[in-house]
Chains A and B, each alone.
Chain A
Amino acid sequence: MRVTPQGRVLVLDVPEWPGNLAGQHLDLRLTAEDGYQAVRSYSIASFGDGHSVELAVDELPDGEVSPYLVRDVEPGDMLEVRGPLGNFFVWRDSQTEPVQLIAGGSGIVPLVSIARAHRAAASPAKFRMLYSVRAPEDAYYASELEELVDDSFALDWVYTRTAPAGFARTAGRITRADIEASTLPVADNPLVYVCGPTGFVEAVARILVDLGHPAERIKTERFGGS
């Protein structure tokens, strides 16, 4: 199902999947007819038990794998996956501290998984999410995220190219002022998860450290770009 102009949500049925923690990823391998192979890492939007694994994939203009996943792959096709992987960029429902989630573009995927796990556990931990997208139509899971908003989950948006009519903030890249105004303060000592393209993550992490967040309280995951 295509959910944004460049993106698609895929649900894989992986019979031997052992379940996964919120925030983990998997490696997906494609093999061409001539034997050429390409492997990419994708964050998982789903969490917990079961062998249904949800991914959201953004098509990269010069990508080898993502155009196939977004345009060509059909229900019933076989894919090769390895995972779940990584215990660093994860959230467990035993965690009680405040959490700030910051996503750029399709970097929302592992953070959706974490937000879903937070809701499913009815966790009282204070959560706040800041989601930066080019335009409203580029947002993944927008309506689901809006529905998660309650006393323990706040959601803030940054639009970099086109903001919806009536939105107070002018479209533009995320700034120090955005982060200061729309994320949990240093005084709350939040654990901060940042995921997005490399340039986005670097910029956000620099601002967070500059605002006084200890580097060891910032977890990052970068993809693509340089």
Chain B
Amino acid sequence: MPEHARQANVPVSRVDGNAAAGPLGEILRLDITTAVGTCRHCGTAAALSEAVVERDAEGVIVLCRSCGHTLVTYISRDGRQYLEFAGLLSLNTATS
């Protein structure tokens, strides 16, 4: 499985929610950097630009900066897209 061998070497870069704007913008008609997300686990509401984002060649994982739980998982592979809102209680696009 050469693809898996290669994936194992793909570095994951740990950035913030600003880097999720492109990938998530493929599937959501909103700007993820200005949207306020509420974490299902700890209840913290924060602009998703402030969230922790782990990004690799195939997608992004958005983590709550307060408790570290996964908020959103997005994977784009072989022309298919997969989006899961595991820990996102709500998403509010109204920001100040």
Question: Which A residues form the contact surface with B (CB < 8 A)?
Answer: 25-27, 36-41, 62, 64, 82-83, 85-89, 198, 216, 219-226
Beta-carbon contact of A226 and B33 below 8 Å: no
Beta-carbon contact of B15 and A87 below 8 Å: no
Contact of B13 among A86, A87, A220, A224 (CB under 8 A): A224
Q: What is the interface of chain B mostly: helix, strand, loop, or mixed?
A: mixed
Task: Give A183 to B50 CA distance when docked, in angstroms.
Answer: 22
Nearest 7 CB-CB pairings of A with B:
A88-B33, A27-B22, A85-B21, A88-B49, A86-B33, A222-B16, A41-B19
| Residues from chain B with Cβ under 8 Å of A221 in the complex | 16, 18, 49
Q: Known pairs A82-B22, A198-B15. 19 more at Cβ < 8 A?
A: A25-B19, A25-B21, A27-B22, A36-B57, A38-B57, A39-B57, A41-B15, A41-B22, A62-B11, A83-B22, A87-B34, A88-B49, A198-B16, A219-B49, A221-B16, A221-B49, A222-B18, A223-B19, A224-B14
Beta-carbon contact of A86 and B15 below 8 Å: no
Can you offer 21 A-B residue contacts whose CB atoms are under 8 A? A25-B18, A27-B23, A37-B57, A39-B22, A40-B13, A41-B18, A62-B11, A64-B11, A85-B21, A86-B33, A87-B33, A88-B47, A88-B49, A89-B33, A198-B14, A198-B16, A220-B49, A222-B16, A223-B19, A224-B13, A224-B14
Residues of B in contact with A, size category: 20 to 34
Q: Mark B13-46, 1 if CB is under 8 A from A, else 0.
A: 1111111011101000001011000000000000
Question: Which B residues form the contact surface with A (CB < 8 A)?
Answer: 6, 11, 13-19, 21-23, 25, 31, 33-34, 47, 49-50, 55, 57, 95-96
Task: Give A202 to B50 CA distance when docked, in angstroms.
Answer: 11
| Residues from chain B with Cβ under 8 Å of A226 in the complex | 14
Q: Which residue in chain A gives the minimum CB-CB distance to B46?
A: A215
Task: Give A25 to B19 CA distance when docked, in angstroms.
Answer: 9
Task: Give A224 to B95 CA distance when docked, in angstroms.
Answer: 26
Most chain A beta-carbon contacts within 10 A, residue among B21, B49, B50: B21
Nearest CB of A to B59, in Å: 10
Nearest CB of A to B78, in Å: 11
